[in-house]
Amino acid sequence: MTIRALIVDDEPVARRGILRLLRQEPDIEVVAECGDGEAAISAISALSPDLVFLDVQMPERDGFTVIEAIGGKRMPAVVFVTAFDQHAVRAFDAQALDYVLKPIDPERFRRALQRARSHLAQPDDGFVRRVSEALKSIDRGELPRYPLRLAIRSEGRVRLLDIDEVDRIVAAGNYVEIHTGTKQHLLRETMASLESRLDPQRFIRVSRAAIVSIAQIREVQPLFNGDFVVLLKNGAQVNGSRRYRAALDVLLG
C-alpha cells in the first residue's frame, strides 16, 4: 500500500526535514507541501491525502483550525509536528493519531509513521469519533484557549517560555520580540496572529507595534494628541497610540 502524504509547515526548513525523512520510506508518496493553513485546506480538499504531517503553530490558521475547517469525518489521519506547548499537547491528546516534537528525532518520527501505517491498514473508527468530540470540546471552550508557554526556536533548539515571564511584545518586521525583563527572544509570527493567541485578560495591545502584560503595568502617562506611554514595573517604557487608548481606559477603570 502506498501512503499519500501531505506536509504542512510554515517553516521551509521543517518541511525539508520531514521530506528528507519520508524519502527514505518506499511506501510513502508526498503529494504536496503547504506553507500555511489555507493552502493546507485547499490541498486536503483537492488531493485527499491519506496522511497529513501538520504543524500546530502557524500564522493565520493553525493546525487545529485546519482540522476544524475540513471536518472530523473528512480529515485524513494526522500526525502533529509541534514545538510543544500545553495547549497543543492537551488538544492532541483528544484527537491526533500521533505527534512529533521539534526538533525532530528521526527514530521518534519513524515510530509515528509506523503508527500511521497501522492505523491506515486497519482504520480505527474511534479516531473519527475522537476528532469530532475534540472539535465539540473546542467549541464549548473546554480546552484551554490560550497558551501558557511560547515556543521560541533558535539555532535548531526550542525554548519554552512561560507566559508569566513576558512583560512586553514588540513588532520586529516578520518577527516579534518577546521581552522578559532584560532578555528578549525572537518569534517568527505577526503581531496580529500572536495577539489572537494571547489571553486578553492578561495582555493588551497599546499600539500597532506593542503589546504589554497587564500585570506588569505600573503607570500610564499621557502624551500629546491622546497618545500615551506605559511604564512597566521593571522600568521599561512602551509608547501607546490614541487608537488603543479606549481599551486601556476600560481596563484601568
Q: In the chain, which segments carry CATH 2.40.50.1020? A: 149-252
Name every residue whose Cβ is closer than 8 Å to that of residue 15 and which is 6 or more positions away in sequence: 7, 9, 33, 35
**Residue ranges, CATH 3.40.50.2300, the chain:** 3-139
Q: Give residue 157's pLDDT.
A: 67
Which residue's entry shows cell 504531517?
53
Per-position pLDDT tens, the chain of length 253: 899 999 999 888 889 999 999 999 999 999 999 999 999 999 999 999 999 999 887 877 888 888 888 887 788 988 888 775 555 555 554 456 777 777 788 888 998 898 889 888 876 555 555 555 555 555 555 545 677 888 787 766 677 788 999 999 999 988 899 999 889 999 888 888 888 888 888 999 999 999 999 999 999 998 988 899 999 999 999 999 988 887 777 666 6
**pLDDT at position 18, please?**
94
Burial class (CB in 10 A: 0-12, 13-18, 19+), 14: buried
Q: What is the pLDDT of residue 118?
A: 85
Residue 99: how many other CB atoms lie within 10 Å:
20
Question: What pLDDT was estimated at residue 144?
Answer: 52
- pLDDT recorded at residue 210: 96
What pLDDT, on a 0 to 100 scale, did the predictor assign at position 94? 44
Tell me what pLDDT residue 129 has.
57
- Alpha helices, H only, the chain: 12-22, 37-47, 63-70, 86-95, 106-121, 125-139, 191-197, 245-252
Question: How far, in Å, CA of 51 to CA of 96, rounded?
Answer: 11
CATH class of the domain comprising 3-139:
alpha beta
Alpha helices for 96-181 (secondary structure H): 106-121, 125-139
Q: Is 141 helix (H, G, I), strand (E, B) or coil?
A: coil
CATH class belonging to 149-252: mainly beta
CA distance 171 to 153: 17
pTM above 0.85, yes or no: no
